[in-house]
Chains A and B, each alone.
Chain A
Amino acid sequence: QSTLTQPASVSASPGQSITISCTGTSSDIGDHNYVSWYQQHPSTAPKLIIYEVSNRPSGVPDRFSGSKSGNTASLTISGLQAEDEADYFCNSYASSSTPYVFGTGTKVTVL
C-alpha cells in the first residue's frame, strides 16, 4: 500500500514560519481534495488541524494553513510557538486497494 512522503523533521525558532510537504501521486493527493493534517503530541491521540486541503476545524489557530499543488500538499505554521512542537501527519483518500493513507510523519522542533 502507498504511503505519502513527508520530511522526517523540520525545526525553526519561535515566531518563524515553516512548511511541511506531503508528496503523493495522481491516485491520491492529485486526484481530489480529501487531504487532512493531524498534530500529535507525545503519548496523545492525533488532533485534526486541517481538512479538505485548507479548512480549519473550529478552535484551530489561524497560524495553521494548508494548500495543495498537483500531487503535493503542504502545511504551513506561521508564527511558530513552543506548543507547536509535535509530530504532524498528512492523510489522503486514495483510488487504490487501500483507500486511505497517511504520510510518514514530520517531527517539528521549536528551537
Chain B
Amino acid sequence: QVQLVESGGGVVPPGRSLRLSCAASGFTFSNSALHWVRQAPGKGLEWVALISYDGSNTYYADSVKGRFTISRDNSKSTLYLQLSRLRHEDTAVYYCARVRVENVYYSGLDLWGQGTTVTVSS
C-alpha cells in the first residue's frame, strides 16, 4: 500500500525540542523529494521544508530556518523533522508529502500522510 505515516507529535513546552518521523511504504522512497507542510488550528497550509531524494539538498521556510532540520534515512524509508526552540506559533498539524515526479522538487505533492499534531504549550 502506497502511504506515508507520520508520528512523533505531542505537547511540548516552549523552547524544547521534538522529532517527527514519516514512514513511507509502497513506493521507491529513495527516488522521491519530500516536503513537510504544517497547518495551524483553523488556518491555512504553510510550507515548512524540502529535502532532495538523496538528502544532499535541503530548503526551509524563513519562519523555521535555523530551528528546524529536515533529514531522511533511505535505508529505513523514513523522513524526519527535528523541531528545536519551539514557539507557541509552531503549534500545528504537520504533514509529510511526496513530490509527484522523481528528481523534481516543485511539481505538486501527490501523496500526503495523515498528519501528526504538535502543541507548544507550557
Contact = CB atoms under 8 A, between A and B. Distances in A.
Is chain B a partner of chain A in the same complex? yes
Interface of A: 1, 34, 36, 38, 40, 45-48, 50-52, 57, 87, 89, 91, 93, 97-105
Interface residues of B, number: 26
Contacts of B105: 93
B33 to A, nearest CB: 11
B109 A36 contact: yes
B115 A45 contact: yes
A34 B101 CA distance: 12
A30 B122 CA distance: 43
Given A97-B62, A99-B50, A100-B50, A38 B45 contact: yes
B112 A45 contact: yes
A45 B114 contact: yes
Contacts of A100: 35, 47, 50, 59, 61, 106
